[in-house]
Structure formats: structure tokens, C-alpha cells
Amino acid sequence: MRQEISGESLQREQALREARAELEHTRTARDDWEAEAMAQRVRVDEARLTLETTYRELTGAKEASERNAATRDAENSARITCKLSLRISRVVRAPCLALLWTPLILLVFQRRTTNYSKQ
């Protein structure tokens, strides 16, 4: 009888040790999983920040490019206006007539360049 009790006691102790070992294994696996999940969250946050920074830089570069294009267009228009004024004054050979025709020709030129830039 005593041997049966000590045999049952040993079996319970063995089962308890196995349960504790399984519990420890499960806790370790959970801790590993939580650490991996945290690392993935950090990577996602870093990727999000990188994306936002890149988008801001792209937006800034696009705005700067548009400003540069507008400046170039204004400079080109001024240069062409000056050349047209000189040609008109040479053709007309009368300053008062050149003053009358220059705004009209410039208006036509501006409309043509505006139509080309919209296309």
C-alpha cells in the first residue's frame, strides 16, 4: 500500500514537473512572440516616418521645381517681349506706331504660349 502511495506520489511529481516545464516553455514562446511583435511595430513606425519624410521632401522638391519653371517662363517671356519690341520698332520705324502695335502682338504671343503650356 505504501509503495502504491509513493508510486502515485512520484507520478504526480513527475506530471507536475512536466506541466511546469511546459508552462515555462509556453511563457518563453510568448515572450519571444511579444518581442518579435514589438520589433515589427518598430519597423512599421520607422517605415511610416521614412515614407512621410520622403513625401514631404518630394512635395518640397515639386514646389521648388514649379517655382523655378514659373521663374524661367517669366524670364523667357520678358526676353521675348524685349526682342519683339525691338523687331517691331525696327519694322515700323516710328516709335509711336511701335507703341500701338507692341501690346497687341504681345497679347497674341501670351495667348499662344499659354495655350501651349496648358497642353
58-77, pLDDT tens digit by residue? 999 999 989 888 888 888 87
Q: Computed from CA positions of residues 30, 31, 36, 37, in that sequence, does the dihedral angle turn out positive or negative?
A: positive
- Per-residue confidence (pLDDT) for residue 92, from 0 to 100: 54
Residue 100 has pLDDT above 70, yes or no: no
C-alpha cell recorded at residue 4: 502504491
CA gap 8, 29 in Å, rounded: 31
C-alpha cell recorded at residue 116: 501651349
7-29 per-position pLDDT tens digit: 788 899 999 999 999 999 999 99
Q: Where are the domains of the chain?
A: 2-118
